[in-house]
Structure 1
Amino acid sequence: MKKIILAFTLMLNMNQAGLFAQNIVPLYKNVPNAIKADLTEKTDTAKNGRILTRYVTEPTLTVFLPEKNDDKRAAVIICPGGGYSYLVMNNEGTEVAKALNKQGIAAFVLKYRLPNDLIMENRSIGPLQDAEQAIKTVRERAKEWNIDTAKVGIMGFSAGGHVASTVSTHYKNVVIPNQEKTNLRPDFSILIYPVITFQDSILHKGSKKALIGENASAEKTAEYSNELQVNKDTPPAFLIHCSDDKVVPVANTINYYQSLKNSGVKAEMHIYATGGHGFGLKNAMRTDKWLEQCMAWMTEMKIKTP
């Protein structure tokens, strides 16, 4: 009896502390484009406290649901960054998911496969496959998670922003089994200091090398330079970047915004003077929070209710 009371007390304390219900969902029964290899997923904690995951072979969604309400809610699939070499699972993943939950938004942290010839027949489509499958999974299980299927968006940080902008511009390129013909287009995107382009002057070299190779053809480079792939049907976007970002040049965000604007797609962009790269939820150089601005944008776009 004491154990039952203790367990109940712990659950109550967790709820009061703002920890939200979560579970891990495998993306596939059979992973497409996969090669069996003697490769084991590895997770370490860096000196700065970031939790880094490498060698993903079994992609998953970690589900974070806010307290239940009667209204169907928006959902955001979160793609952590890491230069397509690792995934920053906490400050660009779980921490963001919990913050979204506090706003009444369902959140799903995507642990996507990182490009690797040892585990993929075609490494260039692996992350796109997992992003498409994540959208498919959320839409097909929307009733279970109380989600509005017309409000399923994708968020990406750094190279995760490349994943998010790729599925936003390449969703008609269906690279997963989809007999159900589920809609794979995100309804909106949230891009935080994103890698957008592989064009030589402003690219993030590590991301290009990992995904398509540093000597990729001009055609392949253009294909994955997502500012060149925008059209009138590209989802609306909210974008954050810092002028002093020395890892991913701010021109990535500016050029994507300009392409959206030229195509008549609604977009909002915030460029901060300072803050660098990789700050996650909190830009230490600012007193305000970009997530608050993002929530205001989502409310204006009628994605989120006030």
Structure 2
Amino acid sequence: LNTLGISAFVLRYRSPEMEWDKLAQIMDVQRAVRVVRSKADSLHINASRVGLFGASVGGELAIYAAAAKQGLYQADAMDDDMFRPNFTILLYPSLPAGIRPHQERKQDDSPESSDSFASHWNASLVPPSLIISAADDACVSMYDMVALHDALHVGRNLTEMHIYPSGGHSFAFCYRQGKQFMQKHEVCMWTERARAFLERYVLQKPRV
């Protein structure tokens, strides 16, 4: 990101281990987007090009935040800013129960979570998105990635998806120790796909 002139911020959201539920995590993501936008001038960044990059569960939270119909919590004046991102990069994201048609409901997917997705989130609101995954991912099925792509496509979203033949789960930036092949592995080229995506859908857009 930095090589493209993009600033990056790391969000430490509340986790189940801290006895917080998913709603609290989504609040954290929405708040992070708003904080960055509210400080855009002082940080010398473009408030109309604020995106989310999420991997695995972080990708799921990015989907929720991008598709939210409304803000979940109003704390102060910062929350007057828009909470939805201008783009998302989703690396092998877990999926909300409401758009998981290719497999049985997971144990942690309560009926409430599916109903909540249907009533509070709208896939047509999601901004340009890049989906990256591997066909041999044992944690997130490639069919779920196809389901996500289809859900966004129905909403006429600008969505790009790349599923690599192998790479497993959590390949991220390919810095695994003891895995000498990873830097030369095909899946490691996803960053070039991300660069092209950002140049096409984000960086070429006029400043607002």
TM-score w.r.t. the length of structure 1 is: 0.57
User: Are 1:114 and 2:24 matched, yes or no?
Assistant: no
Matches within 5 A, 1:11-90: none
User: Are 1:300 and 2:193 matched, yes or no?
Assistant: no
Identity of aligned residues (%): 27
Matches within 5 A, 1:141-152: 141-152=39-50
Q: Give the secondary-structure state (helix, strand or coil) at the position aligned to 1:238.
A: strand
Q: Identify the match of residue 93 of structure 2 among 194, 202, 206.
A: 194
Structure 1 position 169, deviation (Å): 0.9
Tell me the amino acid that sits aligned with residue 203 of structure 2: I
Structure 1 position 303, deviation (Å): 2.5
Q: Give the secondary-structure state (helix, strand or coil) at the position aligned to 1:139.
A: helix
Matches within 5 A, 1:226-245: 229-245=121-137
CA contact (8 A) 1:232 1:263 kept: yes
Tell me the amino acid that sits aligned with residue 24 of structure 2: G
Deviations 1:166-214 (A, max 9, x none): 1011251423425451111100100000001334853794xx63xxxx5
Q: May I ask how many residue pairs the two structures share in their alignment?
A: 194
Structure 1 position 102, deviation (Å): 2.4
Partner of residue 274, structure 1: 166
Distance 1:253 1:222, change over 3 A: farther
CA contact (8 A) 1:203 1:249 kept: no
Q: Give the secondary-structure state (helix, strand or coil) at the position aligned to 1:255.
A: helix
TM-score w.r.t. the length of structure 2 is: 0.82
d(CA) in 2 for partners of 1:203, 1:248: 13
d(CA) in 2 for partners of 1:272, 1:223: 32
Distance 1:119 1:244, change over 3 A: closer
Q: Give the secondary-structure state (helix, strand or coil) at the position aligned to 2:152.
A: helix
Deviations 1:221-254 (A, max 9, x none): 34348xx944432211011011111111112221
Tell me the amino acid that sits aligned with residue 73 of structure 2: V
Matches within 5 A, 1:176-215: 176-180=74-78, 181-198=80-97, 199=100, 202=103, 205=106, 209=108
Distance 1:176 1:249, change over 3 A: farther
Q: Give the secondary-structure state (helix, strand or coil) at the position aligned to 1:149.
A: coil
User: Are 1:158 and 2:56 matched, yes or no?
Assistant: yes
Point out where structure 1 has 5 or more consecutive residues left out of the alignment: 1-99
In terms of fraction of residues, the more helix-rich structure is 2
Partner of residue 262, structure 1: 154
RMSD of equivalent CA atoms: 2.7
Point out where structure 2 has 5 or more consecutive residues left out of the alignment: 175-180
CA contact (8 A) 2:136 2:166 kept: yes
Partner of residue 114, structure 2: 221
Tell me the amino acid that sits aligned with residue 114 of structure 1: S
In terms of fraction of residues, the more strand-rich structure is 1
Tell me the amino acid that sits aligned with residue 113 of structure 2: K
d(CA) in 1 for partners of 2:202, 2:138: 34
Q: Identify the match of residue 124 of structure 1 among 22, 25, 37.
A: 22
CA contact (8 A) 1:295 1:304 kept: no
d(CA) in 1 for partners of 2:22, 2:42: 32
d(CA) in 1 for partners of 2:147, 2:76: 32
Q: Give the secondary-structure state (helix, strand or coil) at the position aligned to 1:129.
A: helix
